[in-house]
Structure 1
Amino acid sequence: MAEVKRFNCPSCGAALELQVNENALNCAYCGSTVSIPQELRETAVTVSPEARRWIKISIWGFVILMIITFVVPFLCSMCAMIAGIGGSVLPFFLK
C-alpha cells in the first residue's frame, strides 16, 4: 500500500493528503489549488503481464531447486544423486 504524504495548505493551514499520481491538490476548506513539485510526486509502477509471468517462473524455479537440493537428499540418496547430476547438466541445455 502506498504511503500517503501530508501537506498543509499555504492559504489556510488545513491538512492536505497527496495521493499517488496527483499533480495538484485542492483544499477542501478554502478552495485554493496547490501545485506539487515534481520531486515530491510519486508514480505507481505497473508490471507487465509478461514480466509478472517471468517473476513467477523464477520464484517457482528457485523453490523447486531448493526442494531438490535440500529435501530430496534426506528422503532418498539415489534420488539425490540423480537430481544432482540433472541439476549440474541441465543449464547447458537451456537457452
Structure 2
Amino acid sequence: MNDRKRKGDGVFADKTKRRSTMLICDKEVARMIGMSPSWVRVQRWKKRTGQEHVFTVAPVTIGTSPRYRREDVELWMATLTDTVKTAGNNDTAGGGNDKQ
C-alpha cells in the first residue's frame, strides 16, 4: 500500500478553506472594515492595556508582526451588522411614532 499523501490532500487543498484561514495585516483589516491602519493598531493597544475598545478580534503574532485571521474579521463584522439590525428592530417595536 502507498501511505504517501496525494497532491491536494493537504490542509489548504480547498480554496475556500485557504481563504478563511488566510492571515492578514493591519492595512488589509483596515481596508476590509473601512477604517485606517492606525485605528486598528490603536484598538489592539487598547485591548492589550485593558481599555475600552471596539475591535475585539485577537491577533496572531508571527515574530513581532500581528496578523488577523480573515475569517475572524468577517465574523466580527457580521456580529456588528447583527447588533445594528437588532437595535433597529427595538427602536420600532413600540409602534413607531410616539407623538400624539
TM-score, normalisation: structure 1: 0.32
Q: Which has the higher contact order (CA 8 A, sep 6+)?
A: 2
Larger Rg: 1
Structure that is richer in strand per residue: 1
